[in-house]
A and B are shown apart, each in its own frame.
Chain A
Amino acid sequence: EIVLTQSPGTLSLSPGERATLSCRASQSISSSQLAWYQQKPGQAPRLLIYGASSRATGIPDRFSGSGSGTGFTLSISRLEPEDFAVYYCQQYGNSQFTFGPGTKVDIK
């Protein structure tokens, strides 16, 4: 089973700052099978990035994804007030779907 680890657990930043979130896999995964989701309190998750670096429909270009193999990154270039949320990475492989534990981005 592939385990995803996200860091940091919590990221405290101010609006306008850049956020860099990390997702590490316990073994190499295909970039095409790595996605990122945003979840706000009381809401369902929302797809942000798929294929490690492609933005989903309607996602602003301040969100970007990168990485390959075992290391992936979600970047938010300039935090807007609505970006403070929890972010999860997720992979599919070997007939299993795995989510990372999440990174909470909160207001400093």
Chain B
Amino acid sequence: EVQVVESGGGLVQPGGSLRLSCAASEFTFSHYSMGWVRQAPGKGLEWISYITGTGNNMLHADSVKGRFIISRDNAKNSLFLQMGSLRAEDTAVYYCARWDGGSQSFDYWGLGTLVTVSS
């Protein structure tokens, strides 16, 4: 069964950095684009980053552009999100999700990892 599992969340001070990871299994990772979607406490879903299967093309939402960088290691079936200059408003559960180009949708999601930005 397709699985994506996030890790790396935690408490970080404003202005700090954190690197999230997502381990993928039971599908050919390099054949799929991937994305990160976050959800602030009690709020809705916000897409933040996307990367193609080859890793050659990335997109970031304006809210994180210049602060967050998405990357992947296809040899290790892993997706990453390097987060910098963190702000209180970045506090959220961060979900890793597989993008299916055929259906144009995020078809598999992880359980998420919580990032808390606070002093």
Contact = CB atoms under 8 A, between A and B. Distances in A.
Contacts of B104: 32-33, 35, 50-51, 92
A37 to B, nearest CB: 8
B107 A45 contact: no
B80 interface: no
A88 interface: yes
A47 B106 contact: yes
A46 interface: yes
A102 B44 CA distance: 7
Given A50-B103, A97-B50, A45 B109 contact: yes
Main secondary structure of the interface of B (DSSP, over half): strand
A7 interface: no
A88 B44 contact: yes
Interface residues of A, number: 26
Nearest to A92: B104
Contacts of B109: 44-46
A44 B111 contact: yes
A67 B61 CA distance: 27
A98 B105 contact: no
A51 B46 CA distance: 20
Contact of A35 (B61, B95, B103, B108): B103
28 contacts: A35-B104, A35-B105, A37-B45, A37-B106, A39-B45, A43-B111, A45-B37, A45-B97, A46-B109, A50-B103, A50-B107, A51-B103, A51-B104, A54-B103, A88-B44, A88-B45, A90-B47, A90-B106, A96-B59, A96-B61, A97-B35, A97-B47, A98-B47, A99-B37, A99-B44, A99-B47, A102-B44, A102-B45
Interface of B: 35, 37, 44-47, 50, 59, 61, 95, 97, 100, 103-112
Interface of A: 32-33, 35, 37, 39, 43-47, 50-51, 54, 56, 86, 88, 90, 92, 95-102
